[in-house]
Each structure stands twice: as structure tokens, then as C-alpha cells.
């Protein structure tokens, strides 16, 4: 019988950032992982939609949605697998909150036998929160006023063409506008949702910090890493040279490699 490999035992849940649709991840990191033989479940955020969901979904709604996607793989009746979660930007908050009780060691202890579990998190230009922190708490004055104040129960202003050079500062202008046109609206209240779990404490995590990120400022990302590491978090820092905020598009191969590393590393201590 052939020895099992990471792709037989580990699957990915990929979650977009705010304002982003799943389509913006399909032909880059999702395609890259699937070409390597991995199962990948790409899900959309409930908070990112055309504005027709009222009241607008909360961070907690997103967390429950992400948790359900992870459990669908962990408890798959035909072929259960461990999970590596990929989160981008905003989704680091609901992504972390979604994983309480899902770490492999904790699920195994609860079931009294080896069990599947979440074995890795890859934060892409993402928020790495402490319990009780929201995006608005972490960003503070670094957040544009319209997003900082928000619209309770409703949606944030859409992403304008003027923001394209900031979000996609490492991509050609025509490609930046193409991606911008595929973005949607995003819930205002989700930015006030406070993390309920510090998943990076219990689950091995890789924080990819885009060196030229202008959306989640690099000093903010480095500070989040330093605080998590100082708190004893199971977190590894990876600075991505030349990358802007949309590193899933501009640095696809590097991101895929880091995701695969997270999957393969999980098997080294199994």
C-alpha cells in the first residue's frame, strides 16, 4: 500500500478578505493548490455581498460560516481530513474566532482517540487578533474615516477606483482595475466584531506580511506578530518582498508554497 501524503490527509479552507468575492481567489491560490492534488473549499464571506442582505451580516455570522466549512471537512463521513485555513485581511478576525475547540489535540482529547482537526492557519496580509479586538480597534486612526465610523446595520462605501493604486500597488494598473470591478460591498458592523478566540496560540500559524502593503500598514502587521510571538503564540513570520495587499494575485506561487508548507508541517508531528 502506498504511503499517504499531505494531500491525502489535509484539505484547505480559503476565505477572502473584505469586499472580495471568491472569484478573486479561484484562478490563483485555489487553482495552485488543486493542481497539487489538494481538496480546497473556497467560501465567500456572508458580510461581502451586493448589499441585499439586511441587516448586514456580522463578524460573528462570518465566523459561524467559516466554522461550518471547516467542520464539513473535519467530519466528512467519506474522507475526513485535517484542515489548513487560509485567511486574507479582515477574515483573520472571523477566521480566528471560528476555530475554538477545533485544534487537532483538543478534538482528539475530547473524543478519546486520534481525530481530525485544524492543523494550520495562514494569515495573508491579515489581522492576527487578540481576544476582544476588532478591526477598528486594531487599525484605529490608520483606518479611513468613512470605514472607521461606518454605517450601523448597513454597508461600507464601495471600493472606489481611487483606491486601486493602494490595494493593488504591485500590479499593472489595468489588472488592478479589472480586479476592482469584481469586488462587492461589505458589512459595516463586521468591522466592529471582536475576536472571541486567539487561534494562533493553539494552532501553528504562518503570518505572511506583504512588504509593500498599504491597506493594512506593515508596521501594524509587524506589531501584531510581535505581540502574538511574545504571548507564546505558535506563529511564524514570513515577510513577502515586493508584495502589496493582494498577494494572492501578485505572489501566487509563493503563497501556494507557504500553504503547502503548513499542510506538510502538520504531518511531521502526527
Q: To the nearest whole percent, how much of the chain has pLDDT over 70?
A: 97
- The residue-averaged pLDDT of 222-235 equals 98
Q: Are 86 and 12 contacting, i.e. CB atoms less than 8 angstroms apart? A: yes
Please give the angle made by the CA atoms of 244, 250 and 252, to the nearest 5 degrees.
125
**pLDDT tens sequence across 27-56:** 999 999 999 999 999 999 999 999 999 999
Cell numbers found for residue 248: 494572492
Q: What pLDDT does 245 receive?
A: 97
Cell numbers found for residue 67: 466554522
Phi, psi of 94 (to 5 degrees): -65, -30
Q: What pLDDT does 270 receive?
A: 44
Q: What pLDDT does 127 receive?
A: 98
DSSP 259: H
pTM above 0.85, yes or no: yes
Domain boundaries 6-268, corresponding CATH code:
3.40.50.1820
**pLDDT tens sequence across 146-161:** 999 999 999 999 998 8
- Per domain, the residue ranges of the chain are 6-268
Round to whole Å and give the CA distance between 248 and 40: 15
Q: What pLDDT does 53 receive?
A: 95
Per DSSP, which regions of the chain are E strands?
A: 10-15, 40-42, 48-49, 82-88, 118-124, 185-186, 205-210, 235-240
Amino acid at each position: 500500500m502506498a504511503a499517504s501524503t499531505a494531500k491525502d490527509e489535509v484539505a484547505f479552507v480559503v476565505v477572502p478578505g473584505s469586499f472580495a468575492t471568491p472569484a478573486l481567489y479561484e484562478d490563483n491560490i485555489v487553482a495552485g493548490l488543486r493542481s497539487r492534488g489538494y481538496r480546497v473549499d473556497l467560501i465567500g464571506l456572508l458580510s461581502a455581498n451586493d448589499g441585499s442582505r439586511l441587516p448586514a451580516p456580522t463578524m460573528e455570522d462570518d465566523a459561524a460560516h467559516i466554522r461550518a466549512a471547516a467542520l464539513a471537512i473535519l467530519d466528512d463521513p467519506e474522507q475526513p481530513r485535517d484542515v489548513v485555513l487560509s485567511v486574507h485581511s479582515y477574515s483573520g478576525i472571523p477566521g480566528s474566532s471560528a476555530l475554538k475547540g477545533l485544534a487537532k489535540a483538543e478534538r482528539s482529547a475530547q473524543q478519546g482517540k486520534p481525530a481530525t482537526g485544524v492543523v494550520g492557519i495562514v494569515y495573508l496580509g491579515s489581522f492576527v487578533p487578540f481576544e476582544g479586538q476588532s478591526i477598528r480597534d486594531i487599525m484605529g486612526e490608520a483606518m479611513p474615516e468613512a470605514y472607521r465610523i461606518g454605517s450601523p446595520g448597513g454597508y461600507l462605501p464601495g471600493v472606489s477606483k481611487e483606491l486601486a493604486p493602494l490595494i493593488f500597488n504591485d500590479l499593472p494598473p489595468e489588472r488592478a482595475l479589472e480586479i476592482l470591478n469584481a469586488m462587492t460591498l461589505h458589512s459595516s458592523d463586521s468591522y466592529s466584531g471582536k475576536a472571541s478566540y486567539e487561534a494562533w496560540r493553539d494552532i501553528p500559524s504562518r503570518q505572511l506580511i506583504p512588504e509593500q502593503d498599504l491597506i493594512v500598514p506593515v508596521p501594524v502587521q509587524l506589531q501584531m506578530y510581535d505581540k502574538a510571538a511574545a504571548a507564546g503564540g505558535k506563529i511564524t513570520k514570513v515577510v513577502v518582498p515586493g508584495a502589496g495587499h493582494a498577494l494572492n494575485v501578485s505572489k501566487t506561487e509563493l503563497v501556494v508554497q507557504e500553504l503547502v508548507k503548513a499542510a506538510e508541517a502538520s504531518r511531521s508531528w502526527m
